[in-house]
Amino acid sequence: MAATAEPAEPAAAVVGTEERLEQVTEEELNAVAARIARARRVAVFTGAGMSAESGIPTFRGEGGLWDTFSPSVYGNVPGLALTALFRPGRFAAFLRAIVGTFLGAKPNAGHMALALLEKLVPTIIVTQNVDGLHQAAGSSTVWEVHGSLLRMRCSSCAGICDLTKDQLGDVADKFLNEGWLLPRLITKKGMPPCPTCGGILRPDVVMFGESLPAAAWEASAAACRAADVLIVVGTSASVYPAAELPQMAFKAYKIEINPAPAFPYANCHLKGNASDVLPRLVEAVAMYHNGHVETSSSDEDVGVTANYNDEADSGDADGADAEGAHKQEGI
């Protein structure tokens, strides 16, 4: 696994402090929007908090799925297979918690805002989520470092098959209604075989201890390294190895959007949820982009001073790289 840089000190300055519960002000948004409007390349790193607002439960944190289902059992293929064999009811409950909410989820206002952002500034999304909501919102360049529930991967040839939500629902029904047990998996009954080699298909989702997809990792690392601005949304960026990616944005001005500061490399923190902050932020970027507000090369000219942490840019450029195996520490 690649080495990781040490968190920069001091921690990110907060735009909208913990004592202030009101929304981020227009002045604060405009200061950040000016930087985004000037950027040549923007990278956005999203996590479970982004999808939670669409009704998809998070894994970690208070009330997350790992509070109910142990990650040591449900976060890996052997554990899931044994649960399906010996505790099919419990396995069905986990499957409903994952797939049931996913099938009905739709992009929220934050997803839609990011889709609009790429029409204003060259934008690449790097997501830890497996729900496909960024693409459903219209974002065209999305790298899924933890895979996707809308794909199946062959356990033999590693071939990929795309799924629609309806097809995924049909697969889930086989588990829930036909008693999906380990012998059925071994004999390939109940699921369509790989169209290339006839092997067993499994969800194309990275489980504990598995390697992240190489192509998505390399493209995500390149996007973060090239970015002038990095936006971290709905994640603490603490699950490795994916957490290495925002640390690679050495030259970027780093913006965190979360209810509370969690990303220690951030230059500034916009307090709030993605569906609240992102539409307002992208609207402000559009004002600059359309020439209604002039951008300035000087941060002091954009209306807010001392609202960011310059020292957070001092990460060690040699501290992380995209080479080598990247094993999932956890979903």
Provide the annotated active-site residues: 146
The Cα 199–Cα 196 span in angstroms is: 8
Q: Are 46 and 126 in contact (CB under 8 A)?
A: yes
Strands 147-154 and 201-205 come out as antiparallel
Strands 268-271 and 229-233 come out as unpaired
Q: Dihedral of CA 204/177/76/189: which sign?
A: negative
Q: How far is CA 289 from CA 32, 35, 292, in A?
A: 13, 11, 8
Amino acid (1-letter code) at residue 325: A
- Which residue is associated with the tokens 């929304």? 23
The Cα 84–Cα 78 span in angstroms is: 10
The Cα 120–Cα 166 span in angstroms is: 33
Q: Are 29 and 276 in contact (CB under 8 A)?
A: no
